[in-house]
Every structure is written in structure tokens, then in C-alpha cells.
A and B are shown apart, each in its own frame.
Chain A
């Protein structure tokens, strides 16, 4: 009897050891300048001194690649993550991998074009998530919404919905982040900041007063994508 129990226990542990890969975690932190983002209740100022609050902040991260010290690439191609400030669990990305030490993180900010033209999807890409344009098929890669006294829209809202995969309106951006040599990776976690201020001014000047909304692919969406692609940095 005891032998049988011992046998089952051994089998159980053997199986779980084989199945278990390590988890590598990417933890996102949403910032406005140096401050932590707080939805609804806090007023921030952009580079043009326009006051604003944030109500919604969401974006897709996909096609993550981790590169180790030997330049070996670890691909996570079929994994899509919808990061949503309103749901803190989404800000933790857990990847199953055996990578020992990460030198660089690459990812696609948005949803690759193939998934934009392949019909209806599930999981993070479920159209139920409100990140899919129904009148012109395609994913909204990133959303930033709030209110601002500078906005000339009804109720002073400003709403940026960014996406687009076609030529001349491609809003997909690849983000590359080098991990400093001194970064402590012993806990298999890397912290990344996303700074909302970059939406307005990192490459192009986007003023809420003159540009209160963007709801379709095109030149404006491309400009805002240029801007927000610069919002990520490895946390200090």
C-alpha cells in the first residue's frame, strides 16, 4: 500500500517538473511624467501646459521577443496582451520561458496585420474588448481617453483611438528596450514604465486644444503612434 502511494507521489512530481517552465514576468507601470497614473481623480499637465485627466488607457502588446546575452531570441508570437490601466492584473505579463538573463526586450505595440484580416478572434483579441473598429475592420492598438479644459469637444472630452495597418497609415510600432547590465534579474522580473506624456510631445506636437480626437487610421493616428511608441522605458 505504502509503495503504491509513494509511486503515485513520485510520478506526480516527475510530471510537474517536466511540465514546469520558468515564468518570466514583465510588470508595466503607467506614469504621467514622474507620477503614477491615477484614473479619473487627478489632473496632469502635458508639455503644452494643457490640463487633463485620464479615464481610459489601454494598449496591445504582442509578438514579444526576449533576447539573452548570447543574442538567442525567445519568441512569443501567438500571444496577445491587452494592457488596461483599469485592470491591474493585465499589467503583469507572464511568459513561460527558460531564458536565464534578458539583455533586450522587443515587442509589437499593436496587433499584427494578419490578425486584422483573419476574421473574428478570441481572448485578448475578442471584439468584445471594445478594441475593434466595426465599420472599418481592424484593431485599435491603443486608446487614451479623458477630459481636458483645453478640449473643444462636447464635455471637454479628448479621445485618441489609434490603429491602422495599411500602407501610409501603418500605426504598428516595434518597441526595443535594452536592459541595463546592472539590472537585477534574480527574481525573473523586469519593470517597464509607460509614460503617457509622450503621447503628446515625444516626436510630434499633439495639442488637445487643436487635436481633441482621433478615431480612425490615417496621418494623425500615425503621428500619435510615433509619439506613444516612445513611451516605454526600463524602470529606474
Chain B
């Protein structure tokens, strides 16, 4: 009979232990709110639901320079919040060991609506996107294996992984999903333009005139509300003879994709200079000069640019006024995305979505 009671006692402890561990894992869901009138996100949240714990882990990873080979470069090094998560005033960003990246760091915003990533669209899912800068020799120069090993040595990470995913085993999948959770929340939808669209503000005259010109000359590719149609186009930008970047052709292997690059979103454009895939346009004025004068159309340049683009000085002025309304000051001051230690500098954002 003693054996029987021992077994019973054992079973009892197992049940208690199991229920205890399961009770401990109860991450808090964060609702992802789609701004009114926006399309359905392409990211599958069912497969990776955003939780406070996952977001917190993703944020720590995003700002952890140990993810790079020499411990100097984090995701946040080149994706700076005050530049809408592009690199402020840099044509190319700095990687490990005094190296330069080969392309201009794009702003990180509204990634839940983005299907393919990079200027050439080579990355087909947000969850695998961070692997590219992580392993690129001009960026963070690491191997996935070594990054995981470094994280496993850190007790703080064990706790964060356990809180976010239920067990403290650190894997590449969990790391990538946590980074996605953090970046998915970076929604920029509170610029003056958005407020005007919601009826909460009004354009001043130059902005209004600029918006009308924009509707005629730019919106076909820079489609609202995301200000990109996510296509790849040749807009007559000649190849840089140092970088020799053929763009989309590198991914598709199709000659017709030579020098095609992703149509960039124009949101927060005032913060993301320089412009172009390699940052060759120092100022917006250089971009306009390109479209009206300097472009070099070739066989696969978009047909609309057959005769370049007619733009008067007046139109350029009005367009600039409109483009500046795309700056989202709540986004760049949102404490949720701030580098740890800098949160206090910002006030909590006002939520316009409710």
C-alpha cells in the first residue's frame, strides 16, 4: 500500500508542477490596430501574435549591439528613431570594422503591409529579414549560430525568451519572431497628411496645391495611404560605377529588371535624406532635378518617363510643402520604440486611432 500512495503523491506533484509552469506562461496580447481606411496587412499575425513580452524581447534585440560581430552595431545603429528608423544624414550606413553598407538604409515603418523587403525585394518575409543585415559583412558580419550562442550565455535573455514564448530555449525562430513583433508595431499614421484625411486638420495653401500636383504626377507609383505600390521600377538612375548595383536583376536574374529598385514610401521623407537606393540624392531638390532633367532613360525605364517629367520651380516648391506634411512626429517620439534609456525623453503618444 505504501507503493501505491507514493505513486499517487508523485502523480500529484507532476500535475501541480505542470499546471504551475503553464500558469506562469500567460503573455499579454497587444492588439494591432489597422488605421482607418488602410488595406489589410500582409503579415500573418496568427502565426506570430504580438505580445507585450515578445515586443519587449524584440526591442532588446533591436538595440543590442552584441548581435554584431564586433559588438558595435545594433539594428538601431542604422535605423534611428529620429530619422524614422533610417540612418540620419547618411547616404550609406556604417557596418562593422569601418565598413560601409552598399545601399541607403530605408525607414522602418508600416512593415505589416510590406510583402517583400530590401531595395531589390530579395527578402520574402519579415521574419527572415533581419538575417540579411545580421550576416552581411558590411553590416553586422555575424553568423546566426554565433548570435544564438551569445544570447544563450545571457541569463537576462533566457528570462525574456521564456516570458515571450513559454520556455527559455533560445532559437533563431523565436529571435526573428520577437524582432518582427517589435517592428510590426512601428506604424506611422499620424502625420499632418493623415490628420487632414481624417478631417482633424487642414492643409495650408501650398500643401493643398502640392497635394494636387502629387495626385497628377506622383501618386501612380507612390500610392496612398502607404505612399508606395511596392513595385520595382527603373526611373532612369544610371548605375554607380563603384557600387555596380544592378538592383532587382540580382534577385530575378531577368535582364529586364536591370537597375530596377523598390518604389520607396514617401512617409517621413523630410527625415530620411539622402535619397535613392544608394543615397546619391543629397536633398529633395536633387530628386526633383533628377526627374525633370538628369535622368537617363534606358530600354526598361518606366514609359511615363520617356520624356522625363515636366516640373516647374513653382511645382517643386508646392510639392515640397506637401511632402513635409508626411512627417509623423508622434512616431519618431513614441517611447515604445525608443532606445532603452531614452524613453524618458518622450511623452507617450496620443492614440488617434480610437
- Residues of chain A whose beta carbon lies under 8 Å from any beta carbon of chain B: 1, 4-5, 8, 116-122, 126-128, 130, 132, 134-138, 166, 168-169, 217-218
Contacts and interface: CB of A to CB of B under 8 A. Distances in A.
B125 A168 contact: no
A136 B122 contact: yes
Contacts of A138: 124
A134 B47 contact: no
Nearest to A164: B253
B49 to A, nearest CB: 14
Nearest to B122: A136
Interface stretch (B142-150, B236-244, B311-319): B142-150
Contacts of B48: 119
B166 to A, nearest CB: 14
Given A1-B1, A168-B253, A120 B124 contact: no
Interface in B105-161: 118, 122-128, 131-132, 134-136, 143-145, 148
Contact of B135 (A122, A134, A218): A134
Contacts of A121: 173
A143 to B, nearest CB: 15
Nearest to B134: A134
B173 A122 contact: yes
A106 B124 CA distance: 29
Given A120-B177, A126-B173, A132 B148 contact: no
Kindly list the 5 A-B residue pairs having the minimum CB-CB distance in the complex, ordered from nearest.
Answer: A119-B127, A134-B131, A136-B122, A119-B125, A137-B124
A136 B4 contact: no
Contact of B125 (A117, A130, A136, A218): A117
A138 B128 CA distance: 10
A132 B131 contact: yes
Contact of A136 (B171, B177, B251): B251
B4 A4 contact: yes
User: Chain B, interface size: which category?
Assistant: 20 to 34
Interface in B164-187: 171-173, 176-177
Contact of B123 (A4, A137, A168): A137
Contact of B124 (A4, A117, A128, A217): A117
Contact of B3 (A1, A118, A119, A134): A1
A126 B132 contact: no
Interface of B: 1, 3-4, 7, 47-48, 118, 122-128, 131-132, 134-136, 143-145, 148, 171-173, 176-177, 250-253
B122 A135 contact: yes
Nearest to B125: A119
B149 to A, nearest CB: 9
B47 A127 contact: no
Contacts of B148: 128
Contacts of A218: 253
Given A1-B1, A130-B145, A136-B250, 14 more contacts: A5-B3, A117-B125, A119-B48, A119-B126, A119-B127, A128-B144, A128-B148, A128-B172, A130-B143, A135-B118, A135-B123, A137-B122, A138-B124, A218-B253
Contact of A132 (B47, B128, B177): B128
24 contacts: A4-B3, A8-B7, A117-B124, A119-B125, A119-B127, A120-B125, A120-B128, A120-B173, A120-B176, A122-B171, A122-B173, A126-B173, A128-B144, A128-B148, A132-B131, A134-B128, A134-B136, A135-B132, A136-B123, A136-B250, A137-B122, A137-B123, A138-B124, A169-B253
B116 to A, nearest CB: 9
A118 to B, nearest CB: 7
A136 B123 CA distance: 5
Given A120-B177, A136-B122, A126 B172 contact: yes
